A and B are shown apart, each in its own frame.
Chain A
Amino acid sequence: MIRTEELLLNVGPQHPSTHGVFRIIVKLDGEVITEATPVMGYLHRGTEKLAENLNFTQIIPYTDRMDYVSAMTNNYVLCHAVEKMMGLEIPERAEFLRLIVMEMQRIASHLVWWGTYLLDIGAISPFLYAFSDRERILGLFNELCGARLTYNYMRVGGVKWDAPEGWIDRVKTLVKDMYNRLDEYHNLVSGNEIFLSRIKGVGQYDAETAINYGLSGANLRCTGVQWDLRKAEPYSLYDRFQFDVPVGKNGDCFDRYQIRMAEIEQSLRILDQALEQFPGDGETMGKVPRVIRPPAGEIYVRIESPRGEIGCHIVSKGKAEPYRLKFRRPSFVNLQILPKLLVGENMTNLVTILGGIDIVLGEVDC
C-alpha cells in the first residue's frame, strides 16, 4: 500500500522567486498544490499612517518606496491628485518631462519583469540583457534627478529639475536602440520551445474572473479586456499621442508575456512622439502656493502604472497634511487571484504564475 500525505511547504519570505518578502504557504498532495495561503506584511511600513503627519511634498519620497521598480508613476499619481484638488495648471514642458520619464519607467519596469521572470523559469542570460538596457534608462534618470531608483523627481505643480543639456537627444538614441534590442529579445526568448511550454496555458482565467478580482494592467488585458487608463480615462498628455493597447485572448501567462513585450514597443512609440514634440523651452514648475494646502474635500485619482491601476485617494481638511491618504496599489489587488490560480497546479508552476502577475512587494505591503 502506498500512502501519500499532505505536505505543508513554506515558500518565502526569503525566497528569490517571490520577488521580495512575500510568503506563501502551500499544501501539497504529491506535487500538486491543493491550497495556497499568501502571507503578507513583511514590508509594511505604514506609509499611509506616516503620510498623515507629513505635508504633500514630504510624502513624495515615500511614494518612491512603494513600487520601487516604478517610482516615477507613483510620484505622478500623488502629485496629480493634489494638483487636481487645487486646480493647478502644469507648464507644458513639465508635463512632457513627466510623461517621458513615466514611459521610460514603464520600459524599465517591464525589463525588470522580463529579466526576472525568465530567471524564475530558469533562463539566466536574458536577465543580463534586460538589466544592461534598464541600466541605461536608470543612468538617464540619474542624470535627470541624481537617483537611480528613488527619484523624488516630481513635485506638485511640475518637476524638480529641468532636463540637462543633451538629455533629450540621449533619450532619443536610447529609444532608437531599444527597438533593435526588443527584436533581439524576441529572437532570444519569445520563440523558445521550452519557454513556451512552460507558460502557454498556465495560470489561465477569463475576463469575468479578472474583472471580479479587480485585476488591472496586463493581468486584465490578457483576457481580452481593452482597458488601459491612458486610453480609457486619459490623463497627462496621453490623448495627444498615437498608441495601441495590446490585448490577449487566452488569459494565460503567455498572453501576459506578449502584452508586456508589446507594451514596451508602444511606450517606445509614445516616446518617439513625445520627444519630437518636446517644447524647446519653458517653465518646469507651475505657479504653486508656498504651502500646498488642497481645499477641504476628497479625490480619487488613478493612472496606469506598469502593473495596472494605481490610485490615490486623498481626504483633505484644508491642511498642509492629508487627513487620510490611501493608495490603491495594483500589485496588492492583482495578487489576490494567486491562491485561486494555484489550486490544482503543479508545484513548478508556482513561480511561473506568481512571476506572471508581476508584483512588487513594496507596493503590496505599502
Chain B
Amino acid sequence: MSENDNREPEGQPEASSSPVASEPTVEPAQVESAQTETAQQEKAQTETAQPEPATTDTQPAAAVPSEPEAPAAQTEAPATQAEAPAAQEEAAAPPPARRVETDEEKAARRKAALEAREAAKAAAAQAAAQAAQAGTDGRAAAKAGDGESSEGEEAPPKPPSPKQPLLDKVTRLLRELVAEDAVEEAYINEANDHLPTLVVKNERWLQAASLFRNHTDLQCSYLRNVSGVDYETYMEVVYYPLNMDSRECYCVKVRADRELPSVGSVTPIWETANWNEREIYDLLGIDFPGHPDLKRIMMPDDWVGHPLRKDYVPLDPEV
C-alpha cells in the first residue's frame, strides 16, 4: 500500500544517521522542535497576517523542505567517521570492556555529531539562502496563486486575472450601495479558477447579501454552498452565490467573533441557507439571528458542545 509509506519525510534523516547509536536522539528532537516551531510560526502568520502571506509565508516554506534534506546529506559523512571506530571496537573489545570504553567513545562521537549538526545547520542556511534566491520564485508564485493574498505582486509581472474586472465591479457596488467599509478584503483565488473572493464586514452582511441577490448587475439567485470554518481566533462563514445566467460565481466570507459568533441569517434571502445554517449552528455553534428555526440538525437535541470546533472535547470518555 503506497499510502502507508506516506509517513512524514522527517523520518528520513533519523534513519540515515542511525549508525550513530545514542547521540542522534538529540538531533531528531531538534529537527522536530524546529519544525513545530516553524509550524507554529506559520500558523501564527496565516492567522494574523492573512492579507500579505505572499512575502511572509515563503520564508518558512523555503526553510522547511531544505532542512530535512540538508542534514540527511551532511550526516552521512560524520556517520561513516563514527562508524569506523564503532566497527573497530566491535572487532577488538569484548562486550563488558566495551561498556567502559563507550564513555570515551561517546565523547568522541558527541563531538562528531556536534560538528555534523553545525555543518548541517550551515548547509541548511546556505540552502535556504540559495532557495530564497532561485527556487522560491516558483513557490512564491504557487503560494500567492492559491489566493491567500492580494492579486499578483510577485516578481514576474503576471497578466491581471481575467476575473479581476468582476471583482472590481462587486467591490465597487458593495462600497457604493452598502457602505464604504463593507468590503474588508477583496482578492482573486487563482487556484480556484480565479474565483473572486470578498470578505464582507459582519454588520453589513445582510445588506450585501440582498445586493448579491437582487442587484441587476449581480442577480445571484442561486446560493450553491454555505460553509462554516473555525479559524481558532475567529469564525468564518463562507457563501458561494452564483448567477446562473452569466455563470458568475463569487466567494463571500463573513467573519465573526469566536466567543459569541453571530452572523445574520440569509434564509429570508436564499431559502437554501436554512438547513445549511442549521448545520453550521449545530456543528460550529455560530448563531444566525433572523433564522426561522435555528436548532440542531445533525446531533441530538441534548448534545453538549459543537463538534467541529477546534477546541471541542467530547463529554463521553468512550468516544
**Chain A residues with a Cβ under 8 A of chain B:** 40-41, 44, 46, 48-49, 55, 57-58, 84-85, 87, 208, 211-214, 225, 227, 232-233, 290-292, 295-302, 309, 311, 313, 315, 317-318, 320, 323-324, 326, 328, 332-333, 335-336, 365-366
Contacts and interface: CB of A to CB of B under 8 A. Distances in A.
Interface string B181-193: 0000000010110
A144 B192 CA distance: 31
A214 B222 CA distance: 6
Given A292-B6, A296-B46, A311 B224 contact: yes
A48 B223 contact: no
A87 B191 contact: yes
Contact of B225 (A48, A57, A300, A366): A300
B300 interface: yes
B271 interface: yes
Interface size class of B (residues with CB under 8 A): 35 or more
B304 interface: no
Given A291-B6, A296-B148, A313-B238, A211 B283 contact: no
B230 A324 contact: yes
Nearest to B230: A324
A298 B298 contact: no
A204 B224 CA distance: 22
B294 interface: no
Nearest to A208: B221
Given A84-B191, A328-B224, A318 B271 contact: no
B224 A309 contact: yes
B3 interface: yes
Nearest to B279: A332
20 contacts: A44-B299, A46-B307, A49-B283, A55-B6, A85-B146, A87-B191, A233-B247, A291-B7, A296-B53, A296-B143, A300-B240, A302-B224, A311-B225, A311-B240, A313-B238, A318-B61, A320-B6, A324-B229, A326-B229, A328-B225
A232 B247 CA distance: 8
A363 to B, nearest CB: 13
Contacts of A214: 222-224, 270-272
Given A57-B3, A290-B9, A298-B147, A48 B308 contact: yes
A212 B189 contact: no
B42 A318 contact: yes
Nearest to B223: A214
Interface string B300-316: 10000001100000000
Given A87-B142, A298-B251, 9 more contacts: A213-B271, A213-B272, A232-B247, A291-B6, A297-B148, A317-B46, A326-B229, A333-B276, A336-B274
Nearest to A45: B298
B130 interface: no
A317 B53 CA distance: 12
Residue from B192, B229, B300 whose CB has the most chain A CB atoms within 10 Å: B192
A53 B221 CA distance: 36
B308 A49 contact: yes
B47 to A, nearest CB: 9
A302 B240 CA distance: 11
Q: Which 4 A-B pairs have the closest CB atoms?
A: A214-B272, A297-B146, A57-B3, A326-B227
B6 A57 contact: yes
B227 A41 contact: no
Contact of A298 (B192, B270, B275): B192
Given A214-B222, A296-B57, A332 B146 contact: no
Nearest to B57: A296
B195 interface: yes
A299 B192 contact: yes
B43 interface: yes
A215 to B, nearest CB: 8
A301 to B, nearest CB: 8
B6 A296 contact: no
Contact of A41 (B229, B230, B298): B298
Residue from B6, B146, B247, B279 whose CB has the most chain A CB atoms within 10 Å: B146
B224 A48 contact: no
Contacts of A58: 3
Interface string B213-227: 000000001111101
Nearest to A60: B3
Contacts of A336: 271-272, 274-275
Nearest to B53: A296
B6 A365 contact: no
A290 B5 contact: yes
Contact of B300 (A41, A48, A233): A41
Interface string B30-67: 00000000000011001000000100010001000000
A46 B46 CA distance: 26
A237 B276 CA distance: 31
A365 B275 CA distance: 12
A233 to B, nearest CB: 7
Interface in B197-255: 197, 221-225, 227-230, 238, 240, 244, 247, 251
Given A214-B270, A296-B148, A300-B240, A48 B222 contact: no
Contacts of A46: 307
B297 interface: yes
A55 B298 CA distance: 24
B221 A211 contact: yes
B224 to A, nearest CB: 6
A299 B191 contact: yes
